[in-house]
Amino acid sequence: MTSLLDELSAIAGEAFAAEGYPTGLGTVQPSDRPDLAQFQCNGALPAAKIAKGNPRAIVDKIATRLKANPIFSQVEIAGPGFINLDVSDEALARRMGALATDECLGAPETGKGKTVLIDFGGANVAKPMHVGHLRSSVIGDSLQRLFRADGWHTISDVHLGDWGLQMGQLISEIGHRGIAPIYFDPGYTGPYPQESPVSMEDLEEIYPAASAACKADTARLQEARRATAELQVGRPGYRALWEHFFKVSRVGLEREWDSLGAHFDLWKGEASVEPLIAPMIEDLKARGLAVESEGAVIVPVAEPTDKKEMPPLILVKSDGAVLYGTTDLATVIDRVKSHDPDLILYVVDQRQHTHFEQVFRAARKAGYCGKAQLEHAGFGTMNGPDGKPFKTRAGGVMKLYDLIAMATEEAEKRLAEAGLAAEYPEEERKDIARKIGIAALKFADLSNHRTSDYVFDLARFTRFEGKTGPYLQYAAVRMQSILNKADSADFTRGERVVLHTPEERGLILQLLALPNAMAGAEQNRAPNILCDYVFTLAQIFSRFYTAHHILSEKDDALRTTRLALVGLTLSVLTKVLTLLGIEVPKRM
């Protein structure tokens, strides 16, 4: 189903074409002055430039053509050559009927036949997820849902950080502690125990200790580097330990993502491209793209037009270890070979921007991208009240799991304050609180443009008023309860939609604008566009609800129309919340 805006643009485009101007001039947009008109078309001024003619004469001709089309109830010339447009109530009613029977609610099919691969940021093995990973998961998940709804084939990869120095640090710390000597015995050739010598909790304690030891003592750092390099060339005991790290971490990480309701398709990581690295470096060297420099192997990626200095991509350090730039480059090869995507989107902290620029340039120079466009969809940080990245009260990194628990607790408080869900069974109330807590976190995160930083303020995020996730959940629950109370005959009374009031028209226009919000959010990789859209929808609905009788409306046709509007608004609201990864409780 084409969107209303596209249909109007096509009609205006034809009018311009009939007068000998480019069709593109017919682009119609929502009016800047909704008090004067629903839509506007500004093409006559550029047309006058092309024809070196008088805009007024041109706009007259275009307006005359548009007036002949019954879809418009008003065509008015404004200012030097703008055209204000209103769509007739009949046309709106017809469109509303079409929307109600469209399973996809008018979703644009921008991704038809295309594949996008979404990189979920690269949380690290052996470290608990922290709030920085909240943003990757929340934004990545929402983008994946949006692209899928727009018809793309989506593949998401967690891309675990499992091959770098932190692995060597863990290994050497475990060696020092003498926890599992068998893995360090050069005379032993396996098999190694099935059972991991360390649990996720152990790793959470061992990793910070290892990292501190390396910071305090360069000898320990050297040792960790050596262990990293030995792991990477395949020393069996280290490799076996690494597998244990990966497995126990996966259990912990899965718990976090499950609780967020974020899912991805591939559990790959940096290590999974290990076999591709040596041949890739060979290839790059053979073609003169990679060169030796002070014992390291680098790919120079600076370009003459660079305004800022662009350092080379380091593939191999002088101690023989590879970095995550190396694995990221090899991963491009792997992804292109396995999935041949049209787009690879990296949903990773904005501070990694230079890193990705280096990797992308190297990939393009080497011709590794296939048809894929490589793009970094960076994001800002979630800050504490001090304006610095959010920490626990004790100053440590806040784990995602604890953050979700905190949000759930706050949501329970809010429910109690509002006197909601009080008489429901304990288990249901807990489930509602969890859904509200997660909605609060996700909506607060997604409603800012992803590149801006924002301040964590749980009290504000969990409020039932204002631009919050819980407000929207509550709005949906209220709509559902109106529908529950309606007489079933009201839904079957026929297709006759009767529109009378500006509130009804305003609501329909917003419902019909969903495809444009989805297309805009996709184009800009910006779920905040969906947040704005859905918040505006809830506000417009609230105006409609205040201004009209619904269940108590005596006129059958009006009651049926208004209930249909409630039903459609609920469908659209729920759909957009789903795109944001937010669930609506059945009742509250």
Q: Which stretch binds ligand ARG (CB under 6 A): 34-42, 196-204, 344-352, 483-491?
A: 344-352
Smallest distance, Å, CB 108 to ligand ARG?
28
Smallest distance, Å, CB 512 to ligand ARG?
38
Smallest distance, Å, CB 344 to ligand ARG?
9
- On the CB side of 147, CA atoms within 13 Å amount to 25
Q: Show the tokens assigned to 499.
A: 């529109």
Please tell me whether residue 192 binds ligand ARG under the rule CB under 6 A: no
Site for ligand ARG (CB under 6 A): how many residues?
11
Instruction: Quote the DSSP letter at residue 36.
Output: T
Q: How far is CA 151 from CA 51, 336, 511, 517, in A?
A: 40, 20, 20, 15
Please tell me whether residue 256 binds ligand ARG under the rule CB under 6 A: no
Distance CA 547, CA 555 (A): 16
Contact 506, 37 (CB under 8 A): no
Smallest distance, Å, CB 433 to ligand ARG?
31
Please pick, from the candidates 26, 55, 106, 122, the single residue that binds ligand ARG as defined by CB under 6 A: 122
Smallest distance, Å, CB 140 to ligand ARG?
10
Compute the 3-state secondary structure of the chain and give helix, strand, coil in percent, each to the nearest 5. 55, 10, 35
Contact 504, 544 (CB under 8 A): yes
Distance CA 103, CA 108 (A): 12
Q: Which is nearer to ligand ARG, 230 or 328 (CB)?
A: 328
Please tell me whether residue 535 binds ligand ARG under the rule CB under 6 A: no
Q: Which is nearer to ligand ARG, 109 or 204 (CB)?
A: 204
Q: Which is nearer to ligand ARG, 85 or 253 (CB)?
A: 253
Smallest distance, Å, CB 469 to ligand ARG?
27
Smallest distance, Å, CB 339 to ligand ARG?
15
Please pick, from the candidates 119, 410, 503, 522, the single residue that binds ligand ARG as defined by CB under 6 A: 119
Task: Give the strand pairing for 382-383 and 72-78.
Answer: unpaired
Smallest distance, Å, CB 529 to ligand ARG?
24
Please tell me whether residue 346 binds ligand ARG under the rule CB under 6 A: yes
Please tell me whether residue 324 binds ligand ARG under the rule CB under 6 A: yes
Please tell me whether residue 317 binds ligand ARG under the rule CB under 6 A: no
- How many secondary structure helices (H) and strands (E) does the chain include? 21, 13
CA 179 to chain centroid, in Å, comes to: 42
Distance CA 134, CA 404 (A): 10
Smallest distance, Å, CB 122 to ligand ARG?
3
Please pick, from the candidates 150, 256, 328, 334, the single residue that binds ligand ARG as defined by CB under 6 A: 328
- Residues of span 145-184 touching ligand ARG by CB under 6 A: 159, 161
CA 194 to chain centroid, in Å, comes to: 38
Ramachandran area for residue 295 (φ above 0: left; ψ -120 to 50: alpha; else beta): left
Q: Which stretch binds ligand ARG (CB under 6 A): 10-18, 80-88, 117-125, 240-248?
A: 117-125
Distance CA 182, CA 368 (A): 41
Contact 446, 138 (CB under 8 A): yes
Distance CA 313, CA 297 (A): 9
Q: Which stretch binds ligand ARG (CB under 6 A): 8-16, 119-127, 367-375, 410-418?
A: 119-127
Beta bridge partners of 224: none
CA 56 to chain centroid, in Å, comes to: 45
> Residue 112: helix, strand or coil by DSSP?
coil
Please tell me whether residue 348 binds ligand ARG under the rule CB under 6 A: yes
Q: Which is nearer to ligand ARG, 136 or 561 (CB)?
A: 136
CA 492 to chain centroid, in Å, comes to: 38
Smallest distance, Å, CB 531 to ligand ARG?
25
Q: Which stretch binds ligand ARG (CB under 6 A): 96-104, 121-129, 249-257, 463-471?
A: 121-129
Please say whether the dihedral angle defined by the alpha carbons of residues 425, 428, 430 and 432, taken in this order, is positive or negative.
Answer: negative
Contact 81, 58 (CB under 8 A): yes
Q: Which stretch binds ligand ARG (CB under 6 A): 37-45, 93-101, 114-122, 202-210?
A: 114-122
Please pick, from the candidates 9, 31, 40, 124, the single residue that binds ligand ARG as defined by CB under 6 A: 124
Residues that bind ligand ARG (CB under 6 A): 119, 121-122, 124, 159, 161, 324, 328, 346, 348, 352
